[in-house]
Amino acid sequence: MLKGKKIVLGVSGGIAVYKASALTSKLVQAGAEVKVIMTDSAQNFVTPLTFQALSRNPVYTDTFDEKDPRYIAHIDLADWADMFLIAPATANILGKMANGIADDMLSTTLLATEAPVYIAPAMNVHMYAHPAVKENMVTLEKWGYRFIEPGEGYLACGYVGKGRLEEPETIVHVLEEQYKNTGWLQGKKVLVTAGPTQEKIDPVRYFTNPSTGKMGFSLAAEAARLGAEVTLIAGPVQLDTPAGVHRVDVTTAEEMFGAVTTHFPTQDIVIKSAAVADYRPKVVHEEKMKKEPGDYAVEMERTKDILKYLGENKQHQFLLGFAAETTNPIAYAKQKLENKRLDAIVVNNIKQPGTGFAHDTNTVVYINRALEEISLPLMQKTEIAGHIFQQIKKDIEGE
C-alpha cells in the first residue's frame, strides 16, 4: 500500500533515533520514497549520512541550506509529501507543533505542509505522562494529527513503562492500513450523534449525564478524513467542530430525535454514539422552583427511542449503536443489537479504569450481526474511531 508514496520522515532527538534508521529502511523496502529531516539533537545520536544511505535521498538538517536555488526547500518538501511521519517524536517537537513554533527545518516544514501527519512519540515514562505533554497531544489530535502510540517496556533511562518508540514493522503496518482505508467513504453520507442531552425541570435545573461527546466527535472526524460527507448532531458539549464536518447543535432528546430523523433518509451510515436521556420530567416549570421543607419527587416520562425508530425505519443504511454498561455488557449489547435491528454495536464497561465518559481513552468491543466480537484494548478514542470504521468497512463489503 505504500508503493510510490512520498513520505517525509521527521527525526527528532532521542535515543530512539536508532530505530528511525531501521524504520527508513522498512519504508523504502515497502516501496515508499522517503526524504528525511533531522533536528540538530537527532544528529547527536545518528549521522545524516546513515539516513542518506538508507533513503537514497539527501537529508535535510538546516532551514537555510537551500539544495536547489530554484525552490525554497521547506516549502518544496512540504508540498512534495503525501504523508509526514514524525518518529521519534520527542516532548520538545510536540510542544513546538502544538504551539506553532517554527525555529528549525522540521518544525518549519510541518507548519507548511497540508499532508496528513502521523506522530510516533518516544520519551521517558514521566515525560509522556506530564500534563503539558498530554495537553499538547490533545491539541494536535483536535487538529487532525494522528498518533502511533508508544509501547511499554524497558526504556533507555532505566525506567520500565510507556514511552518506547513503537517497532518499525508496526509503524509501517499502521501506515499501510491507513492508506488501505483512506477515501473509501468518498461519495458516502455519514451521520454521527454525540454528547448528552439536557432535560429541563425548570429554568435553572435539568437532568443530564457525564457524556463529553469525545467519542462521537472522533468518529465524525475520522469519517470526514475517509472522504465522507459528515453530519454531526451534537448535544451540549464543549468541543470544536472537526474539519470538514457539518454540525447541528441540539439540547433535548426531542430535538435530537427531530434532527436525526430529518437527516436519516439520505444517509449511508448512521452512528448513534450520543448518550440520550431515556426519561424526562413530565412537568417543566416555567419559573424557578423554590426550596420547600421535606422531600420532592419528580415524575418522569419516557423519551422517544431514537435508535429503535431508526432500526424499524432503515432502508439501505448501515446502523451502528453504542452501549455504555456496568453489568454483563456483552450480553446486553447482543440483546440491544437484536431488539433494535442494528447492523453492529459498540459496547464498553464504564467501570473499567480509563474508559467511558470524559476520558480521552476507552476499551470497547465491536459486535456485528454475525455476533463476531472484536475487542479493542485501552487506546485513544481517536484511534478507536479508526478501528471502528475499519470494521464497518469489512461488514459492508462482506469481508
The mean pLDDT of 47-57, rounded to a whole number, is 97
Give the CATH H-level superfamily of domain 6-181: Flavin prenyltransferase-like (3.40.50.1950)
Rounded Cα–Cα distance for residues 125 and 151 (Å): 10
**pLDDT value of residue 349:** 87
Average pLDDT over residues 217-221: 94
Please tell me the distance from the alpha carbon of residue 172 to that of residue 154, in angstroms, as a whole number: 22
Look up the CATH superfamily of 189-397.
CoaB-like (3.40.50.10300)
pLDDT of residue 73: 87
- pLDDT of residue 282 exceeding 60: yes
The pLDDT tens digits of the residues spanning 226-242 come to 889 999 999 999 998 98
pLDDT band at residue 41 under the 50/70/90 scheme:
very high
Give 387's strand partners.
none
* Nearest-angstrom CA–CA distance, 355 and 86: 28
| Residue labelled with grid coordinates 412537568 | 283
Give CA–CA dist 233/218, Å, rounded.
Answer: 13
pLDDT at 140 > cutoff 70: yes
If you average pLDDT over residues 201-221, what whole number do you get? 94
Instruction: State how far the Cα of 333 lies from the Cα of 347, in Å rounded to an integer.
Output: 6
| pLDDT of res. 121 | 93
**Helix (H/G/I), strand (E/B), else coil: 84:** strand
Over range 58-81, report the average pLDDT.
89
Q: How far apart are CA 226 and CA 116, in angstroms?
A: 12
**Mean pLDDT of the 277-297 span:** 93
Per-residue model confidence as pLDDT tens digits over 86-139: 999 999 999 999 999 999 999 999 999 988 899 999 998 889 889 999 999 989
Catalytic residue at 148?
Answer: no
Positions of CATH 3.40.50.1950 in the chain: 6-181
Model confidence band, residue 207 (pLDDT cutoffs 50, 70, 90): very high
Annotated active-site residue in 157, 237, 330, 374: 157
Secondary-structure breakdown of the chain: helix, strand, coil percentages, each rounded to the nearest 5: 35, 25, 40
According to DSSP, the residues that pair with 374 across neighbouring strands are 366
- Please, where in the chain does CATH 3.40.50.10300 lie? 189-397
3-state secondary structure of 205: strand
CA dist 46 → 29, 36, 43, 67, 372 (Å) = 20, 12, 5, 21, 46
Kindly report each contact of residues 390-395 with a partner whose C-beta sits within 8 Å and lies 24 or more positions away, as own/partner: 390/177, 390/181, 391/344, 391/366, 392/269, 392/318, 392/320, 392/344, 393/181, 393/184, 395/318, 395/343, 395/344, 395/368, 395/369
pLDDT digits (tens, 9 = 90+) for 335-379: 999 999 999 999 998 888 877 787 888 899 999 999 999 999 988
Compute the Cα dihedral for 337, 342, 343, 348 and give only its sign.
Answer: negative
Contacts of 53 (CB under 8 A, 6+ apart): none
- Does residue 254 or residue 164 have the better pLDDT? 254
pLDDT at 328: 93
Interatomic CA distance for residues 216 and 199, integer angstroms = 20
pLDDT top residue among 66 and 338 = 338
Taking the C-alpha atoms of residue 342 and residue 325, their distance in angstroms, rounded to an integer, is 17
